[in-house]
Structure 1
Amino acid sequence: MSYGINAYQQVGRSSANYADPWQLTEMLFSGALERIAQAKGAMERGDTAAKGERIGKAIGILDGLRGGLDHQAGGDLAANLDALYDYMQRRLVSANARNDAAALDEVIALLREIKEGWDAIPAEARNAHQQRAPRADGTAG
């Protein structure tokens, strides 16, 4: 998940230093959505440089989300998310090259759906997961 923190910090969010993994993931989703919306606005204005920069940052954030996946514990879900994040990254590259606002809208819709699922995880489940997670010394929390 440290790769995700680095990706988010590159887009200017110092609060990532103090976020727990649940909050960090929510911040990554929000940051990616924000960068894609900014890229769409830049596309509409014809600002090619800003469009490319924002899409690049969104791709980096998606890379951070991919890097935070636990393929061993996550099984098929992690594999499916990895494939979906890869697909979104490729759509963003295509959107940038072709000035395709519809591709940006598609990625926004996909990210929103994943984020809504993430946000719907009950706090009790998040807390239970954090309590079971091993600490730096190898003992359970």
Structure 2
Amino acid sequence: MLKQFNQAYANDALKAAVYGASPVGIVVMLYEGAIKALASAATAIDGGRFEEKARMISKTVDILEGLRVALELDQASDAASNLNDLYLYMKLRLAKASLKNDKEILAEVKGLLETILPAWQQVDRGSAAQQQAAGQNEG
């Protein structure tokens, strides 16, 4: 799983953060990275920097594909199936946004990610609290 996510990032400090994070913490970081990349893509469109726009959209697509591949679809979870469909939808929308330099589509996908992100953050906080409580019980 980490190997797939590393393809989306080249920053050494980020790699260190990823290797120190829980799996859910990695998902949170990926969502945050995708949201930032979409904001950068919109800014690049405004500035006529279309190569940068393409790079930022491509980065987001790579993140979405990494998230999609990491889903455990064989466990027949409705949540995993729905996320798979949503990630595929977002990737299709981003392809169209890239072709048309459409900031509204970028905003749509960014909004979807921003809607889901708090749920992942809550799960991550719950996991961290459980690990902390387990550590205190051992001592």
Question: Which of 88, 98, 101 is 2:100 aligned to?
Answer: 98
What is the CA-CA distance between 1:74 and the residue it aligns to?
5.5
Q: Distance in 2 between matches of 1:70 and 1:2?
A: 15
Q: How many residues were matched structurally?
A: 129
Give percent identity, aligned residues only.
32
Instruction: Compare relative contact order (CA 8 Å, sep 6+) and give the higher one, 1 or 2.
Output: 2
TM-score, normalised by the number of residues in structure 1: 0.81
| Structure 1 residue 113 corresponds to structure 2 residue 115 | yes
Alignment of 1:11-26 (within 5 A): 13-14=14-15, 15-26=17-28
Q: Distance in 2 between matches of 1:24 and 1:49?
A: 28
Equivalent AA in structure 1 for residue 31 of structure 2: F
Q: Distance in 1 between matches of 2:101 and 2:111?
A: 18
Q: Distance in 2 between matches of 1:128 and 1:8?
A: 29
Question: Which of 65, 68, 92 is 2:67 aligned to?
Answer: 65
Alignment of 1:1-141 (within 5 A): 1-10=1-10, 13-14=14-15, 15-73=17-75, 75-121=77-123, 123-124=125-126
TM-score, normalised by the number of residues in structure 2: 0.82
Which structure has more helix as a fraction of its residues?
Answer: 2
Runs of 4+ off more than 4 Å = 125-129
What is the CA-CA distance between 1:75 and the residue it aligns to?
1.2
Equivalent AA in structure 1 for residue 116 of structure 2: I
Unpaired segments ≥5 residues, structure 2? 132-139
Q: Distance in 1 between matches of 2:4 and 2:65?
A: 8
Equivalent AA in structure 2 for residue 9 of structure 1: Y
Distance change >3 Å, CA 75–CA 11, structure 1 → 2 = farther
What is the CA-CA distance between 1:8 and the residue it aligns to?
3.8
Q: Distance in 2 between matches of 1:27 and 1:109?
A: 16
What is the CA-CA distance between 1:20 and the residue it aligns to?
1.5
Q: Distance in 1 between matches of 2:59 and 2:120?
A: 21
Q: 1:69-104: per-residue Cα shift (whole Å, max 9, x none)?
A: 111336111011001001001111110100110000
